[in-house]
Structure 1
Amino acid sequence: MSTSYFFGYGSLVNRRTHGFDPAHRATASGWRRVWAQVPGRPVSLLTVLRDPSCEIEGLIAPVDDAGWAALDLREACYDRTDALQDVRHPAERVEELAIYVVPERDRLPPDAAHPVLLSYLDVVVQGYLAEFGAAGAELFLATTANWDAPILNDRAAPQYPRAQSLTDDERAFVDAALSGLGARVLAR
């Protein structure tokens, strides 16, 4: 088994979006999630930035060389960054642990021309609900910045390539969370 792992904090928390196994719940200290626009991308994405006052929950899973090639392609606008000393987890024999980070020079605030896809947010929240329950999904919301980003409602025709079907309860949770955050949801 590989001793090299990734720490997922967004869509990688949703096991339906990848086949890396066994995945373990984990916590990364000194990081905060943030919505960011990335040059060359039509939508805003989740990334992380250093924040010594914050910790975030996520998943770790082992990755072999072929898996890294696939993950690096999936996370093409991110840098694979060492996070071994930042992440607490129950896995044994973890010798390398990476987190994907959009470089600071490439992070811009989200805007109407680069919204967050609701289908992407749905996948992320669905993963947090499955792994950490409602309290964990609420913690995801609380430890993520830039909720003033416009959210494009693309549920009827998802643009996110790994979009998932949500249950009525999951959809209601996301919608209530966005309302509670005062998020601006744009009609398609």
Structure 2
Amino acid sequence: MADPYFFGYGSLVNLATHDFPDPRPATLKGWRRAWRHTDLRPVAFLTAIRDEACEIEGMIAHVPKNDWAALDEREWAYDRVPATDAVTHPLTHEVEIAVYAVPDHRNGAPNGQHPILLSYIDVVVQGYLRAFGSDGVDRFFATTEGWDAPILNDRAEPRYPRHQQLKLEETALVDDRLAAIAASIVEPA
């Protein structure tokens, strides 16, 4: 029987946000990331969407004893989609890999009422920096759509439940990349 793994492409790349065993860098072909909002959450979040011309880096990690409950709870607004054949990874034993994606009928563009949280971006970029270096951060930005959405500066009081403390140079990196794409940062009301 194949070992169950998931492919993480957002906050799950940041190993400080979970303790799933055997995390490994991997690539998912035929998908890209997008910022989306749904009626299930008050803010925008990342999802994977199919795009045959794209591939994204991320992390795979083992789901012990095939117990998906904790991960399904964390990713409750997503569908778990089989992705084994689309993932390139360093493992040599048989695995089954799933990716979490917002169902098409729930996808909506972020807007002023459903912004992207800066504390969420911080967590994701910190994860990509640690796993893939600054070039990996650049690839994250390049393979993610929806950067024209408003980004709520919640750093003073992070709303993202798995927010992390960033080093000054990590914060500067996030701010630099957001400035480079002319992101719209809005202050809390």
Match of 1:116 in 2: 116
Match of 1:148 in 2: 148
- Give the alignment of 1:162-177 within 5 angstroms: 162-177=162-177
Give the aligned length: 188
SS of structure 2 residue aligned to 1:92: coil
Match of 2:180 in 1: 180
- Give the alignment of 1:84-99 within 5 angstroms: 84-99=84-99
Partners in 1 of 2:66 and 2:52 — Cα distance? Answer: 33
The TM-score with structure 2 as length reference comes to 0.96
The TM-score with structure 1 as length reference comes to 0.97
- Give the alignment of 1:10-29 within 5 angstroms: 10-29=10-29
Match of 2:43 in 1: 43
- Asked if the contact 2:40/2:77 (under 8 Å) is kept, the reply is no
Match of 1:30 in 2: 30
Partners in 1 of 2:46 and 2:11 — Cα distance? Answer: 9
Partners in 1 of 2:108 and 2:170 — Cα distance? Answer: 29
Partners in 2 of 1:94 and 1:156 — Cα distance? Answer: 44
SS of structure 2 residue aligned to 1:49: strand
State the 1:52 CA deviation: 0.5
Partners in 2 of 1:99 and 1:50 — Cα distance? Answer: 11
Give per-residue Cα distances to partners, 1:12-41, cap 9 Å, x unaligned.
000000001210000000000000011131
Partners in 1 of 2:14 and 2:169 — Cα distance? Answer: 16
The RMSD of aligned alpha carbons is: 1.3
Q: Which runs of 4+ in 1 moved over 6 A?
A: none
Partners in 1 of 2:137 and 2:129 — Cα distance? Answer: 5
State the 1:65 CA deviation: 4.4
State the 1:67 CA deviation: 4.5
Structure 2 residue runs without a partner (length 5+): none
Does the alignment pair 1:7 with 2:7?
yes
Percent sequence identity over aligned pairs: 52
SS of structure 1 residue aligned to 2:68: helix
Q: Greater shift after overlay, 34-43 or 6-15?
A: 34-43
Partners in 1 of 2:69 and 2:138 — Cα distance? Answer: 32
SS of structure 2 residue aligned to 1:166: coil
Partners in 1 of 2:180 and 2:138 — Cα distance? Answer: 11
